[in-house]
Amino acid sequence: MEPETLKKRLWEAEGILFDLDNTLYPRERGVFDLINERISLFVSDLTGKCLDDVRLMRKDYVGRYGTTLGGLMRHFDVPPEEFLDFVHDVPVEGMLGPNGDLREFISRITLPKVIFTNATALHAERVLAAMNMRGVFDGICDLRKTGYLGKPHPEAYRAAAGEAGSTMGRTILVDDLEANVRGASSVGMVAIKVGGPHGDCADLRVSHVRDLEDTFRGAPWLITL
């Protein structure tokens, strides 16, 4: 997207969606690594497969259904809440800490701000509490609110935009995963990738969420200091 086109679309935005894990905090914190390990453990216990086979199975499910849970629900009739409770049982309080700069920056965005996560609202609330960011966001669109579809399913983006009160064409997504960025772009959102290579589908890439201040500076919905 050309810089002037990107600026126009950003300035006209009606809502902004922030991914949670590995987006609001660096992946080096290891929270999602633990979640990922627990997903594999759950699948291994369920199927009796070794972890190498589980890895291939999960890759197949993510490719076909968008999430590991989607495949487990379809092929094993797994109760989604049982899976979600197990995989998010990680000690986020001891792994994350306050981020005053990030809180201050996001608080100055006057657009409706929604956490958009394939995790649970409870997990999101625990992460936000550990980072001292409760009260900063206007809502949480978790896996339940998407009917357990999750990113990158198109209906998940529709649900999240609805949570923000915006149309998909006037919604910004900030996410660390290429597949989720690609999904946002495919439904007409402005897609911003955090960390890693730029990728073909991202309209913009930044190393950290806090770096977006330079891009957003001058927008009618950003309070400047």
pLDDT by residue (tens digit) across 72-105? 999 999 999 999 999 999 999 999 999 999 999 9
What's the predicted TM-score (pTM) here? 0.96
Find the domain containing 39 and state its range.
Answer: 31-87
Residue 35 shares a structural domain with residue 17: no
pLDDT at 198 over 70: no
Whether 223 is in a domain gets the answer no
Whether 101 is in a domain gets the answer yes
Backbone angles phi and psi of 126, in degrees to 5: -65, -40
Residue 105 shares a structural domain with residue 200: yes
Exposure class string for 92-126: b at 16+ Cβ within 10 A, else e: beeebeebeebbebbeebebbbbbbbbbbbebbeb
Average pLDDT, the chain: 96
Per the structure, the count of domains in the chain is 2
Give the pLDDT band of residue 215 (cuts 50, 70, 90): very high
Question: Do 53 and 43 meet the contact criterion of CB atoms below 8 Å apart?
Answer: no
* Rounded CA separation 195/32 (Å): 15
Furthest-apart CA atoms within the chain: distance in Å: 57
* Rounded CA separation 176/169 (Å): 20
